[in-house]
């Protein structure tokens, strides 16, 4: 056996797209023929590897799927429902934006009125005098 024409388990794994333990298991179970080299590694014939890959590959090859799934009545109903929910969501988002703007305007008005209130002069204290004394108010100590 010439080492140049045979593959190691790692090379076989890279070529087939499976792991080295998968290759080793296939050899141990007798599904893939290989022979031991002097250095202890496996020597796998490339033709034997391709035979094994074709018989083993059906387990790891995804099924053929078309880009667009077939149209069914359920799919059509789901598309209609999806369009309805999308339209309803965009309406709710628009309503939410309008309410946010209204709240911001109300907050600005409140802040403006509060500032105007704070700018007003304070009311004067009631004057003390004869009428203040008669109503029970004590004159301020001046």
Range of the domain at 99: 71-115
Higher pLDDT pick, 138 / 120: 120
Q: Are residues 16 and 49 in the same domain?
A: yes
pLDDT for 107:
97
Q: Are residues 78 and 50 in the same domain?
A: no
Q: Provide the mean pLDDT of the chain.
A: 83
In the predicted structure, residue 50 carries a pLDDT above the cut 60: yes
How far, in Å, CA of 105 to CA of 32, rounded? Answer: 77
Q: Are residues 42 and 77 in the same domain?
A: no
132 falls within a domain: no
Q: What are the CA-CA distances from residue 133 to residues 9, 136, 139, 141, 142 (Å)?
A: 113, 5, 7, 13, 15
Is pTM beyond 0.85 here?
no
Higher pLDDT pick, 49 / 112: 112
Question: How many structural domains compose the chain?
Answer: 2
Task: Give the pLDDT confidence of 82-133 residue by residue, as tens digits.
Answer: 999 999 999 999 999 999 999 999 999 999 999 999 999 987 776 677 776 6
């Amino acid at each position: 056996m010439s080492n140049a024409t045979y593959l190691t388990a790692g090379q076989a794994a890279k070529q087939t797209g499976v792991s080295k333990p998968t290759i080793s298991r296939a050899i141990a179970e007798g599904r893939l023929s290989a022979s031991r080299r002097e250095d202890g590694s496996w020597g796998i014939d490339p033709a034997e590897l391709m035979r094994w890959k074709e018989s083993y590959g059906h387990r790891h090859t995804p099924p053929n799927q078309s880009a667009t799934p077939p149209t069914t009545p359920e799919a059509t109903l789901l598309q209609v429902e999806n369009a309805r929910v999308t339209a309803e969501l965009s309406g709710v988002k628009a309503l939410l934006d309008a309410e946010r703007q209204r709240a911001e305007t109300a907050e600005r008005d409140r802040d403006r009125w509060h500032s105007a209130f704070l700018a007003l002069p304070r009311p004067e204290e009631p004057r003390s005098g004869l009428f203040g004394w008669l109503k029970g108010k004590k004159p301020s100590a001046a």
